[in-house]
Amino acid sequence: MSRLIVGPFNRVEGDLEVTLDVEDGVVAAAHAGSPLYRGFEQILRGKHPLDALMFAPRVCGICSVSQSMAAAAALADAMGLAAPPNGRIARNLAHAVENLADHFTHFHLFFMPDFARAEYAARPWHGRAAARFRALKGSAAIEAMPARTAFLSMLGTLAGKWPHTLSIQPGGSARAIEASEKIRLYGLLRDFRRHLETTLFNDTLEAVAALDSAAALERWAAAMPRGDFGLFLDIARDLGLDRLGRGVDRFMSYGNYPQEDGLLLARGVWDGRLQALDAQAIAEDLSHAWMAGETRHPAQGLTQPEDGKAGGYTWCKAPRLAGLPMETGALARQMVAGHPLARDLVTNGGGNVRSRVVARLLEIALILPHMEQWVKQVVPGEPFCAQGEMPAGASGVGLVEAARGSLGHWISVAGGRIANYQIISPTTWNFSPRDSGGTPGPLEQALVGTPVGEGNVAVQHVVRSFDPCMVCTVH
């Protein structure tokens, strides 16, 4: 047995260190380390409750709108506020722009460049992968960047700027949309659709969203060249990415995009069957974090860093649902929402590198057509933001889905000030350390059995298949 410390991992948003125990050329055990702590939960204590709207987005520069959405939801819960339809739609649009842009950025800039590496020079697809995805030089990235910029310019209109808006409010949106702006937003959505349909899928979004099984996906991919998604599927087939990075196969989603009659994507848990999610059963275990205190529900959670604590190996707490680690992200969201392709991929191979990447691209194809409808539903002249007062004493919870998965904010207010503020980010779930029972977190589990070698490319694929956001993780 030998021990290998891998880091810094780039293209993971933030800093990650993975310690691997290697036996017979494969990972026998993995420890995920988050080496950065900033202290947002300590900073927020004692602030005016609405100051959370300024601080929360700055937890994370890539899922900034999601952080704003969770903060606004927690504050709205404490204030007893509900957004009017325009406010709900404007927030959903802003949130979906960020979530889809994050999936798009992950695929083009963070995940695919690994297949352009010299280690793969002998593979039949390497020439295509290198031409399209070589870091900073590949033609796909060069085409993707302006498409991404144009898509994110929707947030110039909807949210003033990205990242770090303050337009997302407990009562809705502070940015009312005018009639001509609806048309501009619609045009930007159609521009992005065109880019996706011509370069990523070589098919309509509706056709991709309608793929209902692994076999249908393979037939679709074999029918004709399928753009960069097709290239990924070729690589996945050749490298067996559906057998790499098997996780804990328990999936959680808080659900997303509230509509007039409930969530567009359902809330729940999948562990072989669909179950209701009991948010009261969430707790953070601190046994292997450099954090003092005992296991608690986040509504009563504590954040007290204790450098050098015995048994600790990360600043990251270990969130568990009813004592169990959960995988969260696009695949989990689509498992819970019941998409047949996601369900079939997981039934025949579980959460793995391929199914996680497929679910992300599937989600782009699924959500963009909804956004085109949402824009049309905005009614200029009707209100965008409900008004209300924060009681001197209150508590609230905001549960939303960021691109990377389930994001929760828990606030309690006393004497008109924040008495406690706790955040559990998606990667806190996915890259959590061991708990007091010694059970590894989802990434730690997924790395077991991964081959180790030159450049540790397989390890890199497993890590990046989760699209980790390490700045969020510890916050």
Partner 1 sequence: MTAQPLNLVWLQSGGCGGCTMSLLCSGASRLFDQLADAGVHVLWHPALSEQSGAEALALLEDCAEGRLPLDFLCIEGALLRGPNDSGRFHVLSGSGKPMTEWVSRLAGRARHVLAIGSCAAWGGVVAASENPTQACGLQYDGESPGGLLGAGWRGRGGLPVINVAGCPSHPDWITETLMALSLGQFGAADLDKLNRPRFFADHLVHHGCARNEFYEFKASAHKPSDLGCLMENMGCKGTQAHADCNLRPWNGSGSCTRGGFACVSCTEPGFEEPGHPFHETPKLAGIPIGLPTDMPKAWFVALAALSKSATPKRVRENAVADHQVVVPAVKKTGLK
Provide the 3-class DSSP secondary structure of residue 244: coil
Does residue 139 touch partner 1 according to CB under 8 A?
no
In the complex, least distance from residue 263 CB atom to partner 1, rounded to whole angstroms: 24
CA 232/CA 367 separation, integer angstroms: 21
Q: Find the binding residues for partner 1 in span 292-321 (CB under 8 A).
A: 305, 307, 315
Q: Pick from 80, 127, 161, 300 the residue near partner 1 by CB under 8 A.
A: 161
CA 232/CA 354 separation, integer angstroms: 9
| Strand 268-270 to 274-275 pairing | antiparallel
Segment near partner 1 (CB under 8 A), from 167-175, 203-211, 234-242, 318-326?
A: 167-175
Does residue 113 touch partner 1 according to CB under 8 A?
yes
Does residue 453 touch partner 1 according to CB under 8 A?
no
Q: How many residues bind partner 1 (CB under 8 A)?
A: 89
Q: Pick from 80, 124, 127, 146 the residue near partner 1 by CB under 8 A.
A: 146
Does residue 194 touch partner 1 according to CB under 8 A?
no
Does residue 190 touch partner 1 according to CB under 8 A?
no
CA 121/CA 425 separation, integer angstroms: 37
Does residue 50 touch partner 1 according to CB under 8 A?
yes
Does residue 336 touch partner 1 according to CB under 8 A?
no
Does residue 195 touch partner 1 according to CB under 8 A?
no
Q: What is the DSSP annotation of 333-369?
A: HHHHHT-HHHHHHHHTT-S-HHHHHHHHHHHHHHHHH
In the complex, least distance from residue 122 CB atom to partner 1, rounded to whole angstroms: 18
Does residue 5 touch partner 1 according to CB under 8 A?
yes
All residues at 6 or more sequence positions from 398 whose CB lies less than 8 Å from its CB, including other chains: 69, 70, 71, 72, 73, 74, 75, 76, 77, 408, 409, 411
Structural tokens at position 130: 């290198």
| CB contact at 8 A, 466 and 405 | no
Q: Pick from 31, 37, 265, 405 the residue near partner 1 by CB under 8 A.
A: 37
Q: Find the binding residues for partner 1 in span 356-385 (CB under 8 A).
A: 380-381, 383-385
Structural tokens at position 53: 């709207």
Structural tokens at position 246: 């098997």
Does residue 55 touch partner 1 according to CB under 8 A?
yes
Q: Find the binding residues for partner 1 in span 7-26 (CB under 8 A).
A: 7-11, 13-17
CA distances from 276 to 252, 284, 408 (A): 10, 20, 17
Q: Pick from 136, 389, 415, 438 the residue near partner 1 by CB under 8 A.
A: 136
